[in-house]
Amino acid sequence: MAKTKTKFACQACGYESAKWMGKCPGCNAWNTMVEETETTVKHRGISSPLSIKKEKATSIIHVDTASEPRIYSPYHEFNRVVGGGIVPGSLILVGGDPGIGKSTLLLQISHALSSQQLKVLYVSGEESVKQTKLRADRLGALSEQLYVLCETDMQAIQEAIDQVDPDCLIIDSIQTVYEPAVASAPGSVSQVRECTGILMRIAKMKGIATFVVGHVTKEGTIAGPRLLEHMVDCVLYFEGERHHTYRVLRAVKNRFGSTNEMGIFEMGEQGLREVSNPSELFLSERPMGAAGSTVMASMEGTRPVLVEIQSLVSVTNFPSPRRTATGFDHTRLSLIIAVLEKRNGLHLQHHDAYLNIAGGVKVDEPAADLAVAVSIASSFRDAPTRPYDVVFGEIGLTGEVRAVSRVEQRVNEAKKLGFKRVILPEHSLKGWKPADGIEIIGVRTVSEALQVAFD
């Protein structure tokens, strides 16, 4: 006998309530409580086929630690982000803005894996089979081992999985899939949670590497309950400006690798192409000898990347000057400007300050502070720095320059691209030997850095 119960669930965090509320107590979001109907069916003596096989508790000393072989794709940038390769039986969530290239990336990876004689099942709930074939023709992603299915019913998808028995499964997207036993609309909290739970059990039991595409909200986070990100093994974000050709793949959660890695791809007519040297890409259009332009050595996981920081300081006509930053923390920019005013005598209180990380890159590490300060001072004084200088270091509130990590890798990347001088914290000179052919200058304060940069 089926029993129907009505509840209200928050579409942002999954909080459930027996009555409607304007403000969710779980995440403090307004107007996110949606009415859902939940139907529960009592099973008499019937056990789920997924729970027939039970495991016994084992002493941790006797657990076999033999590493499971990973699935390597021809895309080294993708392998870097997922931790060295795809782990069989893992559940990976891929999020990104609409039209950024999530389906293109997964279709190209599907073709690459199927070319290695691995069975891949691509389930699309947003495109028909013919539309997927047209996309595959454009990308050149045609393979006998690549199976395509247009379906949103979770039971039909399970039947297709049993029939094909794939090594890799792709669901595009989880917001379009529904479980008939759950009386809620596709994309609701109950449907997303239930369908993800089914996919997780299938992936773990059958050892199928599963990719799930998730929509994002206007704030840039993955839509649906926060529980969705906790259930999966890896969360990948596919980022980039739609007006730029490159795309950035980041891991914000990874149970099988680091979360600091970054993969760079370039979008073209034939799909995505991986970029092996992103520093050359970001500095390809850099103006030489322009005031306000500074090169900074950033670390993205284990990879050093050189990016250009551009600043524009102009006299304001308003009582309150503007502080605008693109690709950099706005609060951090205000802090650096305050240090330049208080400790270095730069009167910026009557000037607007605009900061941009060229190419649309996002830099969030403190090592960018010194390069931002030099860039702002260069634009304020209208005096360009040397075109072959690289600057990095963290700035304290008293005007000191603090040490940063992985200094040797940053310097080697600058030397490889032909830069002649590096300005860095003096405390970072310990424990490593500078390479020949590049000048290393250590500074203790921001004043010293500005004096060296404009000497």
Whether residue 431 is annotated as binding a ligand: the answer is: no
* 97 has binding-site annotation: yes
Angle between the N-to-C axes of helices 446-453 and 330-344, in degrees from 0 to 180, rounded to the nearest 10: 90
Please check if 100 is assigned to a binding site. yes
Q: Give the C-alpha distances (Å, rounded to integers) separating 22 from 29, 115, 184, 199, 299.
A: 8, 52, 20, 33, 43
Cα angle 114-117-120, degrees, rounded to a multiple of 5: 40
Beta bridge partners of 357: 309
Q: Is the peptide bond before 173 cis (omega within 30 degrees of 0)?
A: yes
User: Is residue 337 a known part of a binding site?
Assistant: no
The verdict on whether residue 85 carries a ligand-binding annotation is: no
- In degrees and rounded to multiples of 5, residue 65 shows phi and psi of -100, 20
| Residue 96 assigned as binding residue | yes
Describe the chain by its helix, strand, coil percentages, rounded to 5. 30, 30, 40
Is residue 102 marked as binding? yes
Angle at 409 between CA 408 and CA 411, to 5 degrees: 65
Is position 166 annotated in a ligand binding site?
no
Token pair listed for 364:
């969030």
Whose structure tokens read 């290239």? 101
Pairing of strands 91-96, 234-239: parallel
Nearest to 262 by CA among 284, 242, 283, 282: 282
Check the CA dihedral 438-439-440-446 and report its sign. Answer: negative
Binding site for ATP, by residue number, is 96-103
Binding site, by residue number, is 96-103
